[in-house]
């Protein structure tokens, strides 16, 4: 399930306060700790990632390890 408002995107119960919308859909980035914590299905992940983790409340300010495709076009 995806919920979108002007300040965040909630994807399968995980709130992202840093997401991007472009011609490919809606995506964000996620660190290894949050990836393990939230058990994100690998189907939604891309091998690359850069920037700070987009998960709201991530206390680690970890560099992301992968991109997550929240809504692909």
Please state the domain extents for the chain: 2-72
> Which is higher by pLDDT, 63 or 34?
34
pLDDT band at 56 (very low <50, low <70, confident <90, very high): very high
pLDDT band at 1 (very low <50, low <70, confident <90, very high): low
Mean per-residue pLDDT over the chain, rounded: 85
Helices (H) and strands (E) in the chain, counts: 1, 7
DSSP-assigned beta bridge partners for residue 10: 3, 15
Is 63 in contact with 51 (CB distance < 8 Å)?
Answer: yes
Per-residue CA distances from 55 to 26, 44, 58 (Å): 14, 15, 6
Return the exposure string of 40-59: e unless at least 16 CB atoms fall within 10 Å of the residue's CB, then b: beeebbeeebeeebbbeebe
């Amino acid at each position: 399930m995806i919920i979108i408002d002007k300040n965040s995107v909630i994807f399968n119960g995980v709130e992202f306060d840093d997401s991007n919308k472009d011609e490919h859909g809606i995506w964000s980035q996620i660190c290894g700790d949050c990836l393990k914590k939230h058990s994100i299905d690998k189907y939604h992940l891309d091998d690359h990632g850069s920037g700070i983790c987009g998960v709201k409340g991530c206390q680690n300010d970890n560099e992301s390890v992968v991109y997550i495709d929240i809504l692909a076009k």
